[in-house]
Structure 1
Amino acid sequence: MTAHPEPAAPGTCDVREVLDVVADKWSLFVISHLGDGPRRFTELKRALDGVSQRMLTVTLRRLERDGVLTRTVYEVMPPNVSYELTALGTGLLEAARPLIAWSTGHITQITAARAQYDGTAADAG
């Protein structure tokens, strides 16, 4: 029989809460892009096709709060901000790389399966 971890004490985050953060729509993309080194906000925004400025800001703040990345403000004109993975974030990236590789390697099959399902569902409806 497999032992299950004890539930977290009230007021502390639990596994579901952590998974909600790291498995949201943009977090793994951000973490993946930061795997090559620090990036400025504008670099991340350009690299993440389709993310809004607000959503990127929310994602970065959540990841910073969870200790996955650090935010550094440089006092230059104009001010610039850079984001970098922490050791915790690097560990998360290493854990996520197989999932990212699987997703990339199977996107054609998934797209075909969706098209087939959507065609079948349309015919049944």
Structure 2
Amino acid sequence: MIPQRTRGLTATRLHALCRHWPGVTRDTKWGIDMVLSVGGKMFAVMPSDGSEGGRLSFKVADDRFLELTDQPGITPAPYLARAHWISITEPQRFATTELETFILDAYMLIRAKLTKKMQAELGPLPTVKAGK
């Protein structure tokens, strides 16, 4: 039997993915949005109640912004597009592992902008385990 790939990402699963990464904090802003940050800087945002279709917004590399926003289901994030954030409006269209990789990349991008001292204090970089 071929294992079925999981799709999408819930707020609970997103928090479970990131909560053990060095320096990650969770906060609620704008009423219901779960905000994940490292070193006090946001790297991912998602409605904690699953509203808005489970919209998932996060930072992407500058050189990937246009490529990703050309894909169906991905738009520039409102208010944060100028900082190269995207919103995945229908996360269930994407494999969970792909979304987890996007979130890890967002964490790494924001962490890399922290001071060298703060980066060193955070310790080793996290990874995403395939198939989980």
Q: TM tier, shorter chain?
A: under 0.3
TM-score, with structure 2 as normaliser: 0.26
Decide which structure has greater strand share: 2
Decide which structure has greater helix share: 1
TM-score, with structure 1 as normaliser: 0.27
